[in-house]
Every structure is written in C-alpha cells, then in structure tokens.
Amino acid sequence: MSAEERIVVGPANRIVFADDVMPAVLATPWLVAHLEYAARNAIAPCLEEFERSVGTSVDVEHLAPSPEGFTVVCKARVIHVEGPAVTFQVEAHDGVEVVARGCTSAG
C-alpha cells in the first residue's frame, strides 16, 4: 500500500530565516509533516470510520533544499506491519532530485 502528498513551496511552508544569504526553501518540519500525511493516507483504506493512526517515530534525512515555487511529491509505502504498528518507507522528490528519504512508523 502506498500514497502520495504534494506540497508547493511557498511563504507558508518555507524557512523563516530566508534572506540575501539563505534562499527561501522548504522547511524540514513541513517536509516531515507531508511525509507523515502520505503515510496516514496509505493506510486510510484499512481503517474503520472511527479509527485513526498517529505517527510514533520518524527517521528521515533531509538531503537537499527545495526552492520556493517547486512542487515536492512525498511518497510513503508500507513495508512492515506487526499488530497495530505499521512501518513506512518514505521519500520526497522535487522534480530535480530526491530531497528526503527514510522511515516512519505509526500505530
């Protein structure tokens, strides 16, 4: 099972300390949030209407900056299930390069 989330880099999700030295790029917390949204969406079809999942661990490397205006595609794929615990392989790409990869878990 897998899912994708897309995020366009803009004023609401870029680093707050952008200036003449540091360009405006996607902030790591927003990147991780959208990887988590993709993971949640990957297992949503398996949940009952009253059930929810919540992230329990995140191990993600933010490998490259994504400039303002770029669209980042965050992907999550289920790689292990043990009882209520689910582990996902996650990756993000901005159309130029891989910007993040790792694993997350939810329960």
Catalytic residue ranges: 28, 36, 62
- Within 8 A by CB and 6+ apart from 11, the residues are 24, 68
Please check whether residue 52 is in contact with residue 106, taking contact to mean a CB–CB distance below 8 angstroms.
no
- Within 8 A by CB and 6+ apart from 105, the residues are 55, 56, 57, 58, 85, 86, 87, 88
